[in-house]
Structure 1
Amino acid sequence: EAHLASRNAEILLKASQYIMNKHCLGSRISSIQCAHELSKIKLDNTSMGKTCLSQYYNETICEGINLNYRSADGACNNLKHAFWGKVNTAYKRLLFPVYKDGLNAIKELPNSRELSTSLVNDENAPDSVKTIAMAFWTIFIGHDLSHTAVSSMLKTNKSVDCCNENGAKQSPRYTHTSCAPIIIPKDDRFFSSLRRTCMNYVRSVPAIRTDCTFGPREQLNQATHYLDASMIYGSSVKQTLSLRKKSRGQLLTYTGDENMQYMPLTNNSNACQSGATCYKAGDIRVNAQPHLTAMHTLWVREHNRIASQLALINPHWDDEKIFQETRKITIASIQHITYNEWLPALLGKKFTKKNDLELLLKGYSNSYDKTIDPSVSNSFATAILPFANSMFNETLKFV
């Protein structure tokens, strides 16, 4: 679905580039200024305009949804703006984008690998106060809030390789149009011994602009923009159903050693290393790191524990009722840990108090504001959340 939506965005980008080439190039209008003007032109009654309206402003989307619970895809959380925070919508912008050509081309910037190795060293410097759980909780909720859709092979949907099997940049003949490989310096402190000079980097797919206009490339979030445990339950009804046991509100598991529950297995080639079998969850990145897999396993077990208790207390409830009530409790638990424990540990209690991020000890909050767009910003998804990767030591210990 994400890649299908991106094809329409690709067409709009081409149209925007055509308009810019015809009316801006050769004149005194800069590419950035032209991009600003293009972003004011509505698609209106064009075929793409109708596509955009159906994607972002379909008034019938909330029909038939049980509003007692969060929707799987994030839609209808805000009844006035039903598509705010929905899966497969564009990240919002804090500032207008500045591309090399105003619309799409990557700017020529300092080599990111050189910057990384110059600014960050690999020395182990364990925190005297915080544990590794701090870093993994950051990644865990980061995967709940954002999952940028990356370009893939059109016919096979397989991952794009911008580097060849020898660790060098692909020849132009075999280079995918979405490739933006990072060149590794020959004296790199890690890769030089492996004789690798290319780091695979593939551009994310474009997204249709939420205001249904022409203009610069936007990026697509294929997770819901809410803190709603989508990394556990998935971001669509179909995905959620594939993870459910459909009995007593339980999530699918298999019983392993010592009668312990584990997530179901999958052989999805995009989720696993070649020839490997790994776990299936609401987010494909569940297998990225052992600690993250453990975190997912913990919450799947917690869901099933709560569901079992609710089934005992409420024998008249059916599978759907037990599942949705358990999901609601699980989401609330994750939100509580995030705001009550993670944020103060990350930002400090003074900051969370000053910015009204503290939770109430009792009662209910009336701070909901229906005019606030909850969509995750580009800056937050790409620059803020990934900071957790810098919190890890070079060596992770397993006990």
Structure 2
Amino acid sequence: MVNIFKKVDDSKQFETDPLLKSKEEKQPYWKKPWFTLFIVILVIAITTAVIVYIFYHKDNSSNTINFYESEANAVKFKATTSTRNPIYFEVKSAHPTSRVSSIATTNEDYFKQCAPVVTCNPDDKYRTFNGSCNNLQHPSWGAALTPFYRLMNAEFDDGNYTFRVQLDGKPLPSARQVGLKLFYIRDNRNFDHDNNELLVPWGQFLTHDISFYPDDIRNTSTPANLDHCFEKDKTKIPIECETAIFITADDPVYSQYNVSLFKFVRSMPSVNFSCPLTPRTILNRNTQYIDGSHVYGSDKEIADGLRTFENGKLKSRILKNEEYCPQNPDSEFKDGPLGKSNIQFAAGDKNVNQNLAIALFQNLFLRYHNHLADEIQTLNPSWSDERIYQETRRIVGAIIQVITYEHFLPIILGDEYMKEYGLTGQTIYDPSINSALSQEMTSGAFRAVHNIIPAKFNFISANYSIVDEVEPSRVLLKPDLLIGNFDNMLRGFLETPGRAVQPSYNNLITNVVFKIPNLDTYSGFDLMSYDIQRGRDNGLPPYNKMRYLCGLNKAYTFNDLSDLISLEDIETLKSLYSTVHDIDYLVGALLEKPRNGSMVGPSTACVIGDSFYRFKAGDRFFYDILGQPGSFTTAQIKVLKKITLSHVMCTSSNLSQIQKETFRFVDHKWMSSIKYNCKSYKLDLSPWKDFSS
């Protein structure tokens, strides 16, 4: 056998060697001229790169060190709660299994100090009303009156309570000024020719299922006498002045009404619930699962108050030959500043009367619940009221999940983000995942979708003519407008193209969203200013930190944002903020260019995707999870997956036809989406037949 590793004696001459070899050819390569030239060029290139880098970043070096030192501290993961968060995915699959730990602060202090002791029955088939006992290892996770989850450390100037300031110590720019300079002049009336207006009310209806933190919109919409905020030589600045949104004298809208600031009411902190947590912690008063709690209530007392206790039905009343939610005599909005409304609905959501779209969907699902209860009672006549009610409630919660994940989210996020964040395919329950709603989601990412709120809502009759056009201010706190207009409003949402995605809110909600009728001295309120200020109120991290959290490149200068934000917008940002590290999260999120097929940019998709992954993977009762006491059968899941919002609308209204893809706009000229007769929408409840009785 030949030893191929045998050392060759280079001193011997072989017959195959050239007869003549120059001494130069025998020199080592590092002594050859070409190698010397290569080294010289390499040294020059490296030196030049270092000089350019230092010059380019010299103005931001000190800020960057502090910024990313704090970021590194945030990365430390508290093993005591081991709440996993799929913010990054190393494996792009329908069910990400390789995830890095979240850059997260957990709410372990609450669960140690304030959470009540909960005893759970692991064999319960149905959810509790307050969301407790969903996670048997952590019974309070996702329950009502527990804190919002945080993806990152809270950002307050004093570490606990006061609004964040800029890195140079200056206050953040007025939220109104930010909106004016960046977004006010950009409002255009372009339409979304693929989707209709229904995306907006469904998004808000869904939001009310998973979140509610008290803040009284009456206080923000009522003219407030805050002249004392301009008094000089104060020894202490009143809290209402610290949080007020200041308006410049040259404001194109509010200056003509002599409005110099908006009153802003902060979210109610945990201390109001006898839980003094720091930094400032906000408790979510709703369950933090997609479970229909806004229909049924987030505690047993509210839920019982909405029931008839007969045949599983909810209370209702008949007005103009149609079924509506019962009257709420104690509604806080009945004598609101936007006008008196004698109709005040009662539902699981305290804000059912806040705007007409929410009231529409609450009444829609009230009707649908009672329809399903009748069907189930007919199918299983021996079942008790309690069993019919609980099974119907279980089905309605599942249908809301199906509509959200199968039809709504694919439009908002797009197919690529849906796959990237594990929002497609069979759900596998993971008890280590906390499904609680993140503060960055409710105060930031989901508010970015306010950019598709339309300027007007149409009421459309059965012959498809517009019978009324209402501005946003007219649908607030006026639920009486729904009586007799239920079907017309449904058609209006279905038959009107949505607002095209753009980095702005429409001018009617930035200037007159809470306008009081017939009051010349006041011109409403700015929803964009409110949203920006709410992020500061709740201690959201700035945009640059959220970029980094979502796997985007760290921005060291404003120009580093050019990968997602236009150069024109970057110049405006420079005029508003001291450094790139000061930009509000919502502001950056609105300016990002959406990915093709998506309505949102990457830092918004990241937070939305993370939240909805946790809503499903961390929910033991999610509709397609198998092997749990509350799991549906495979036959039942098959039926649920076929249900669309179109089916719910056909069942619960007098519509005669509707498109199958409910959120898609039907261009009648081009028949962009086919309509179906409502009689063709059938629900097969045979898998719910109980043969044991």
Q: Note the 1:132-281 alignment, pairs <5 A.
A: 132-150=197-215, 161=219, 165=223, 167-169=224-226, 171=228, 177=239, 180-207=243-270, 215-257=278-320, 259-272=321-334, 273-274=336-337, 275-277=340-342, 278-281=344-347
Percent identity between matched residues is 28
How many matched pairs? Answer: 338
With over 3 angstroms needed to count, the CA separation of the structure-2 counterparts of 1:119 and 1:230, relative to structure 1, is farther
With over 3 angstroms needed to count, the CA separation of the structure-2 counterparts of 1:176 and 1:140, relative to structure 1, is farther
With over 3 angstroms needed to count, the CA separation of the structure-2 counterparts of 1:302 and 1:194, relative to structure 1, is farther
Following TM superposition, by how much is the alpha carbon of 1:280 offset from its aligned partner in structure 2, in angstroms?
A: 1.5
Distance 2:349 2:392 in 1: 19
Name the counterpart of 1:102. Answer: 159
Aligned-partner SS, 1:218: coil
With over 3 angstroms needed to count, the CA separation of the structure-2 counterparts of 1:118 and 1:251, relative to structure 1, is farther
Equivalent residue letter for 2:140: F
Following TM superposition, by how much is the alpha carbon of 1:335 offset from its aligned partner in structure 2, in angstroms?
A: 0.1
Name the counterpart of 2:362. Answer: 296
Distance 1:229 1:189 in 2: 42
Following TM superposition, by how much is the alpha carbon of 1:285 offset from its aligned partner in structure 2, in angstroms?
A: 2.0
Aligned-partner SS, 2:459: coil
- Which one of the candidate residues 308, 313, 338 is aligned to 2:404? 338
Contact 1:306 1:326 in 2 (8 A): yes
Contact 1:125 1:393 in 2 (8 A): no
Equivalent residue letter for 1:311: Q
- Which one of the candidate residues 299, 305, 311 is aligned to 2:371? 305
Distance 1:300 1:62 in 2: 29
Equivalent residue letter for 1:283: D
Q: What is the RMSD of the two structures over their aligned residues, measured on CA atoms?
A: 3.2
Distance 2:382 2:443 in 1: 46
With over 3 angstroms needed to count, the CA separation of the structure-2 counterparts of 1:299 and 1:189, relative to structure 1, is farther
Following TM superposition, by how much is the alpha carbon of 1:89 offset from its aligned partner in structure 2, in angstroms?
A: 0.8
Following TM superposition, by how much is the alpha carbon of 1:215 offset from its aligned partner in structure 2, in angstroms?
A: 3.4
- Which one of the candidate residues 119, 130, 152 is aligned to 1:61? 119
Equivalent residue letter for 1:251: L
CA deviations over 1:339-384 (Å, ceiling 9, x no partner) = 0011111111122123321145xxxx4x100000111111001012
- Which one of the candidate residues 327, 331, 351 is aligned to 2:393? 327
Equivalent residue letter for 1:264: P
- Give the structure-1-normalised TM-score: 0.76
Distance 2:176 2:322 in 1: 42
Name the counterpart of 2:684. Answer: none
Which structure: larger Rg? 2
Distance 1:67 1:178 in 2: 47
Following TM superposition, by how much is the alpha carbon of 1:266 offset from its aligned partner in structure 2, in angstroms?
A: 1.9
Following TM superposition, by how much is the alpha carbon of 1:256 offset from its aligned partner in structure 2, in angstroms?
A: 1.1
Flag structure 2 segments of 5+ consecutive residues without an equivalent. Answer: 1-69, 81-107, 165-170, 232-236, 461-693
Aligned-partner SS, 1:114: helix
Name the counterpart of 1:73. Answer: 130
Following TM superposition, by how much is the alpha carbon of 1:291 offset from its aligned partner in structure 2, in angstroms?
A: 2.1
Flag structure 1 segments of 5+ consecutive residues without an equivalent. Answer: 1-31, 43-48, 153-158
Q: Which has the higher contact order (CA 8 A, sep 6+)?
A: 1
Name the counterpart of 2:447. Answer: 386
Equivalent residue letter for 1:216: P
Contact 1:144 1:227 in 2 (8 A): yes
Distance 2:113 2:310 in 1: 35
Distance 2:245 2:313 in 1: 44
Contact 1:181 1:201 in 2 (8 A): yes
Equivalent residue letter for 2:188: E
Following TM superposition, by how much is the alpha carbon of 1:235 offset from its aligned partner in structure 2, in angstroms?
A: 0.7
Aligned-partner SS, 2:203: helix
- Which one of the candidate residues 400, 403, 418 is aligned to 1:352? 418
Moved more, 348-357 or 314-323: 348-357
With over 3 angstroms needed to count, the CA separation of the structure-2 counterparts of 1:348 and 1:160, relative to structure 1, is closer
With over 3 angstroms needed to count, the CA separation of the structure-2 counterparts of 1:198 and 1:141, relative to structure 1, is same
Distance 1:162 1:340 in 2: 36
CA deviations over 1:209-263 (Å, ceiling 9, x no partner) = xxx9963111111111111111111110011111112211111111011x21011
Equivalent residue letter for 2:361: M
Contact 2:270 2:277 in 1 (8 A): no
Contact 1:74 1:86 in 2 (8 A): yes
- Give the structure-2-normalised TM-score: 0.45
Aligned-partner SS, 2:382: coil
Following TM superposition, by how much is the alpha carbon of 1:311 offset from its aligned partner in structure 2, in angstroms?
A: 0.9
